[in-house]
Structure 1
């Protein structure tokens, strides 16, 4: 009952692909990447504006 083996992870992956489909998972990954990039840009923009104030 410890960690899951590679076989268990492959079965879970197969079930997820069957339920959601590869296109939807790809779109989800793309949206997640855009969100992270936007978040990083906002953090970088905020730190730049703070540096300009002092």
Structure 2
């Protein structure tokens, strides 16, 4: 009585398919897989050290290249 047999699990599976339908179960599976993949990618990116010196140099080079850019300051309406 402590464990279920294969017939119990097949009946439970049949009921789940009847209630939700195969299309909805497929969508749930793909959403769950995408979430796990995104989580793994986030863990990999979070562990990599960031190179802030290179990023600052790149911004400075981009600013020097865009000499036609005009900086403006927005004023709030009163």
Q: TM-score, with normalisation over the residues of structure 1?
A: 0.88
Any idea what the Cα deviations from partners look like across 1:2-43, whole Å, max 9, x if unmatched? 110000000000000000000000000000000000000000
**Which residue of 1 is the match for residue 30 of structure 2?**
30
Aligned length: 52
Displacement over 4 Å in runs of 4+? none
Rg (Cα) greater in structure = 2
Q: Which has the higher contact order (CA 8 A, sep 6+)?
A: 1
Which sections of structure 2, spanning at least 5 residues, go unmatched?
53-78
After TM superposition, list the pairs within 5 Å mapping 1:16-27 onto structure 2. Answer: 16-27=16-27
RMSD: 1.6
Equivalent residue for 2:39? 39
More helix by share: 1
